Structure 1
C-alpha cells in the first residue's frame, strides 16, 4: 500500500510540471488560432476571448494582398529540393564511411560529426560571397543547396547508425549474385535503412520549412521570399497598419503543415531516433 501511494505521488509529481509546461506552450498557439479569425476591433476589445464569428477574411488578405501563396510555394520548393539533395548526398556518404574501410575513413567520419558542433552563423559570410561568385544569391535553388549542406553532418550521423546494423552477409549474397556496388547500395542497403531515411527527411524538412536567418541573408527579392520572410514582413507592417489578424492568419498557415506532418509521423520519428541511438 505504501509503495502504491509512493508510486502515485511520484507519478503525480512528474506529471504536474509536464502538464503545466504543456499548457504554457499550447495556450499561445491556441490564442494565435483564435486571433486569426478575429477582426482588429475584436483583438483589441477582447484579446483573450473567442471570436464572435469565425471570419476567414484574414486568411484571404494574407493569401492575396501579402503574397503568402508565393511564399508558401517558394518554401515548398526549397524544403523539397533541400531534403532531396541532402538525402542524395548523405546516403552514399554514410554507406561509404560505414562499410568501405579506407585510409582516413575514421578521421573523415569524425570530421563530419565535428561539423555538427560548429555554429552555422560562422559560415554565413563566407557562404554569402561563395553564392555571389556562382551567381546564386537571391535564388531559392541556391538556398536549397545551402540548406542541404547544412544538414549533411546530422543526416550522415543518423544514417550510419542504421547502416552499421545491416548484416554484411546480405551484401555478400547480392555481390555473389552479380549485383554491382551501386545496386547493393540502392536496392539492398537503402530499403533496409528506410526508417532512418524517413526520420532524417522529416526532421530536415521541418528545419528547412521554419528556417529564417539564412533566407534573410541570401534572399533579397520579395518574389523569392520564403514563408518565414513573408511573415516577418507582415509583422513589421502590422505595427503600422494594425493587421494583427492577418499576421495571426499567416502564422497559422505556416504552422499547420508542420503540426500535421509531425502528428502523422510522430511515432516514426521517435522510433527512428530511438533505433538509431540503440543500434549506433
Structure 2
C-alpha cells in the first residue's frame, strides 16, 4: 500500500531541493570558473569556458603552494586526529564507566565550560605556547589541538559508552584483564561507531581550522591549507589570477568531499546511536 503524500510533504521536498541547489551551485560555479582563462573570466563570469584549462590546477599546486600546504595539513590534521580521538575516548570512558571520588564535580566543571566563549582562552593559550617555545611550529599546533578537549565530543561518546552493559567489564576483570586491556579490547571495539563519528567531526574541524594556524604560524612554509588559501586570496589584489585561485579552492575542498562521501553512513549512524542510547 502506497503512502499518501500531503501538500506539506511536497512543500518540504521543494524546500530541501532549493536548499541543496544553493549549496551545490557555488561549488559548480567555482569548478567551471577554475577551467577558464583570466580573459574569459573577466569578460563573462557566467559563460562556460571555450577550452577546459586543466593546467590551472597544476599551476595552483605549485605557484600558490597548495602542495606544500597540503603536506603540512596532513601532518597537522593526521597527528591531531589520532592523538585527540584517542584521548577523547579515554576521557569519555573514565567519566562514564569508572567510579571515583570527584567524578561528578569534574563533569560539572566540564559542563560549565560550555558557557565560556572559547575566544577568552586565546590570549592565555598564546602566552603559554610562546613561553614553551611552541609558536611557529606544526608540532606545537598538534599538541594544542590534541589536548584541547571538546565537551560536545565527550557528551556524544560518553552517552554511547554509557549504554554498554557493565557485565562485559566485570567478566573481563574476573578473567584477569587490566583496566587498559578492558578499554582497548572491549570498550573501544564496541564504541567504534561513536569513535568514528567523533573522528570525522574532528577531521572537519581540524581541516577547516583557520584561526589557530593563522595566529601561531609565521613561516609561510609551515602554513596549513586554510592559511595558505587566505594568503593566496590576499595576493589576488596584486596578481588578479583568479582562475588559479579558483583551482586552488577546488583542490582544497576535495578532502572534505571525499570524507563525506565515504563516511556519511558512519556520521548518521553514530550520531543517531549516540543520541538514542545516551
Fold shared, TM-score > 0.5 on shorter chain: yes
Q: Aligned residues, how many?
A: 276
Unmatched 5+ residue regions in structure 1? none
Q: What is the CA distance between 1:263 and its match in structure 2?
A: 1.1
Alignment match, 1:26: 24
Alignment match, 2:153: 155
Identify the range of structure 1 (45-54 vs 208-217) with the bigger mean alpha-carbon deviation.
45-54
Contact 1:89 1:152 in 2 (8 A): no
Q: What is the CA distance between 1:50 and its match in structure 2?
A: 1.8
State how 1:43-82 maps to structure 2 within 5 Å. 43-82=41-80
Is 1:278 matched up with 2:249? no
Calculate the aligned-residue CA RMSD, in Å.
1.5
**1:271 and 1:265 mapped to 2: Cα distance?**
10
State how 1:99-118 maps to structure 2 within 5 Å. 99-118=97-116
Contact 1:195 1:268 in 2 (8 A): yes
In structure 2, which of residues 237, 240, 251 is the aligned counterpart of residue 253 of structure 1?
251
Q: What is the CA distance between 1:47 and its match in structure 2?
A: 1.0
Unmatched 5+ residue regions in structure 2? none
CA distance 1:21–1:266, change in 2 (3 Å): same
Alignment match, 1:240: 238
Contact 1:131 1:137 in 2 (8 A): yes
In structure 1, which of residues 203, 207, 223 is the aligned counterpart of residue 205 of structure 2?
207
SS of alignment partner, residue 48 of structure 1: coil
Alignment match, 1:221: 219
Alignment match, 2:142: 144
SS of alignment partner, residue 6 of structure 2: helix
**2:130 and 2:210 mapped to 1: Cα distance?**
19
Contact 2:64 2:248 in 1 (8 A): no
**1:77 and 1:190 mapped to 2: Cα distance?**
25
Q: What is the CA distance between 1:151 and its match in structure 2?
A: 4.4
Identify the range of structure 1 (32-41 vs 140-149) with the bigger mean alpha-carbon deviation.
140-149
Q: What is the CA distance between 1:156 and its match in structure 2?
A: 1.7
TM (norm. structure 1) is: 0.94
Contact 1:113 1:154 in 2 (8 A): no
Q: Deviations over 1:204-232 (max 9, x none)?
A: 01110011111111111101100011101
Contact 2:56 2:247 in 1 (8 A): yes
SS of alignment partner, residue 254 of structure 2: helix
